[in-house]
Amino acid sequence: MKYLEGIAEFCSVAEVGNFTGAANKLDTSVAQISRKVASLEKQLGVKLLQRTTRSVSLTEAGELYFKQVQPALQALEDAQLAVSALQQSPQGLIKLTAPVAFGEAFIAPLLNTFMKMYSGISVQCVFSNEKLDIVEMGLDLAIRIGKLQDSTLVAKKLATRHLYICGSPSYFEQHSVPQTLDELKQLDLLVGSQPFWRAVIDNKVHSIPVQGRARYNSGNALRDASLEGLGLTQLPGFYVRDDLAKGNLIEVLPALKDKQEAIWAVFPSNRNVAPKIRLLVDFLAQNIVDDR
């Protein structure tokens, strides 16, 4: 089976477009990818990749070879996935990314529960508020919130979250409860990383420009400032759900609440999704609580 060596590495470079991304995808080193591809080229007696200091592209022979071997390699992967699906207990590493605050508060505990349920599973999770390129980084999936950009990624909706405008009882002891957007803008507002709030007006979601006496790029900081009576804030339910239930915060203008913002699991579409990934995505969908 020596003739198979290097094919997976070559196809990964061809799909991703560089050696670093291919190494991340296959969980190996750039040097190993380079050696395997060079060995394949030597075996075939042709140059498959045109390398420069900034980019990697397929030669004419490389394009022809990739077109022929990629379906065969996919068939081998499909066969392996089919056999793996027969196992009673899933095995292997799952690499993913999630937003920082939401990931730390909800995804990490669920991942820990998932690993307790399936001892053969291990996890690597990168918490980041940047939209990481999961193909480039070799990740299996990403957890994302809100409107998705058009891409080749496959998305599965996990849950829906709402954005609540709220303030503390102590703040409303000093200020009247706003009944309109104009009244809201006259109050002390606590602004996040974006200079606008989302509101549903006439059944359409609008971005409402806001200015405030404090701006934090942290939901926890905004929640704390609101609890201290410094003003009103707009936050997702997972930050304020408990405080609203206990009366520590009071929701205002509920008719403006956007009820359509979704939490998604997204993953590459250029290969079949492994059973362990589908199992995790289904587990997250069952256990992430919708805002009601």
Kind of pairing, strands 121-127 and 56-58?
Answer: unpaired
What's the rounded Cα separation, in Å, for the pair 283 and 277?
A: 10
Three-state DSSP at 208 gives strand
Q: Which residues of the chain have pLDDT under 70?
A: 1-4, 53, 78, 81-89, 150, 259-260, 270-272, 290-292
The answer to whether the CB of 263 falls within 8 A of the CB of 208 is no
The answer to whether the CB of 265 falls within 8 A of the CB of 159 is no
**Residue 266 contacts by C-beta under 8 Å, 6 or more apart in sequence?**
134, 141, 142, 144, 148, 151, 153, 154, 155, 156
Kind of pairing, strands 56-58 and 49-51?
Answer: antiparallel
What's the rounded Cα separation, in Å, for the pair 186 and 21?
A: 50
Kind of pairing, strands 121-127 and 141-145?
Answer: unpaired
The answer to whether the CB of 243 falls within 8 A of the CB of 249 is yes
209 phi, psi to nearest 5 deg: -60, 135
Largest CA distance in the chain: 81
**Residue 23 contacts by C-beta under 8 Å, 6 or more apart in sequence?**
29, 30, 32, 33, 138
In this prediction, residue 190 carries a pLDDT of 95
The answer to whether the CB of 171 falls within 8 A of the CB of 230 is yes
Written as one string, the DSSP assignment of 96-113 is EEE-HHHIIIIIHHHHHH
> Residue 137 has which token pair?
């980084």
The answer to whether the CB of 264 falls within 8 A of the CB of 186 is no
**Three-state secondary structure readout of 129-167:** CCCCCCCCCCCCEEEEECCCCCCCCEEEEEEEECEEEEE
In this prediction, residue 291 carries a pLDDT of 63
The answer to whether the CB of 226 falls within 8 A of the CB of 232 is yes
pTM (2 d.p.): 0.63
> Is 97 exposed, middle or buried, given 0-12, 13-18 or 19+ CB atoms closer than 10 A?
buried
Please count the residues of the chain: 292
* Encoded amino acid at 20, one letter: T
**Residue 103 contacts by C-beta under 8 Å, 6 or more apart in sequence?**
125, 127, 143
